[in-house]
Amino acid sequence: MWMLAPFALAGKLLSALRKPLGSLWGSVVPWFFWLRSALWLAGGKNTRLPPPRGQGERQESRGEEEEGPDLPTAPTSVNYHFTRQCNYKCGFCFHTAKTSFVLPLAEAKRGLRMLQAAGMEKINFSGGEPFIHDRGEYLGKLVRFCKEELRLPSVSIVSNGSLIRERWFQNYGEYLDILAISCDSFDEQVNVLIGRGQGKKNHVENLQKLRAWCRDYRVAFKINSVINRFNVDEDMREPIKALNPVRWKVFQCLLIEGENSGEEALREAQQFVISDEEFEGFLDRHNEVSCLVPESNQKMKDSYLILDEYMRFLNCRNGRKDPSKSILDVGVEEAIKFSGFDEKMFLKRGGKYVWSKADLKLD
């Protein structure tokens, strides 16, 4: 069939030339497409016309971009547990006092500067209890350094609140964006069962005092609660609304081998564990609380960048905390490869939010 194409073409040309010039274009276009179809039949089904100029290059370029290497993970939000020491004995604690080591201040600042250069926007200081070392002065100097010299958008602390004094706010409150206080119950007897009791000191009464100081010194106030066997049936709606925190982080009790579970652990948290259904029941009961931010075990496990007291990233993917090498020795980009960090889950759980007090309506 395709061998007849030249004769058919000649016939079509003669027919077209007999027509007035005004209609010539209308005749040429159809036989051009007829010719292209004929040549395709001659060359077989695998014959392809070349792409329009530049299109092939663009497609190839897109393919190279899609197959290129992944960009390094940026440590946007980092949790620095610079001490493991604590004055409480919470039975479910998953970062226990396995060492008493704390980095010299100059080395801690060097590591924080490295993190800021790698893309850190928020630092959260935690423990253990961060106010226990040097009566909070070490922590205060780090907070001031991060805000004044590194110019970080957000500097926050997680504390049990028992060792904080108003003088600390007077000296360092202006440099702190968020203070998160751990409070698992508004029943003092439940706090004692959990391990937050300190003799005559009332954890709930102290919480009220800290709330007032945060208001006075313009620090955003946040509450963290671990939902466990002893508080899963508690109704916390009214106390939380009265305290009016900017965020109420509600965690499901989590087992970490070597920390609160297993032969080498300093805690045994099995008695505190609740099911996913029980956790969801607690959330449903409190769904009217607008500041509630829920974090199940699934969301929590791999969505935090955690640095230990040696500035090693802790990988929790296998249900335990496997440390990387210290960023002080190998740099941030190399150490973070072993962090097990799930950036998609970090964003999905709302890990990035309005976290600078300059952007928060603290009044």
pLDDT at 285: 98
- Distance between CA atoms of residues 129 and 336, nearest Å: 25
Has residue 360 been placed in a domain?
no
Would the pLDDT of 82 be above 90?
A: yes
Has residue 61 been placed in a domain?
no
240-255: average pLDDT: 96
Residue 10 binned pLDDT confidence (cut-offs 50, 70, 90): very low
Active-site option among 90, 183, 214, 316: 90
pLDDT in tens, 122-160: 999 999 999 999 999 999 999 999 999 999 999 999 999
pLDDT at 350: 80
Say which residue, 41 or 362, is predicted with more confidence. 362
pLDDT at 53: 36
Has residue 153 been placed in a domain?
yes
pLDDT in tens, 279-324: 999 999 999 999 999 998 877 767 899 999 999 999 988 888 999 9
Active-site option among 86, 146, 183, 214: 86
Has residue 253 been placed in a domain?
yes
Active-site option among 93, 146, 183, 316: 93
Full domain range(s) for residue 149: 77-351
Has residue 99 been placed in a domain?
yes
Has residue 49 been placed in a domain?
no
Would the pLDDT of 252 be above 70?
A: yes
Would the pLDDT of 108 be above 90?
A: yes
pLDDT in tens, 20-49: 434 444 444 444 444 444 444 344 434 333
Q: Active site includes 214?
A: no
pLDDT at 301: 67
Say which residue, 72 or 2, is predicted with more confidence. 72
Q: Active site includes 253?
A: no
Would the pLDDT of 277 be above 70?
A: yes
Has residue 52 been placed in a domain?
no
The CATH number linked to 207 is: 3.20.20.70
- Domains: count for the chain: 1
Has residue 71 been placed in a domain?
no
Q: Look over the chain and give the mean of its residue pLDDT values, rounded to a whole number.
A: 84
Name which of 129, 137, 178, 171 is nearest 157 in CA terms.
178
Most confident of 70-74, 187-191, 204-208, 327-331: 327-331
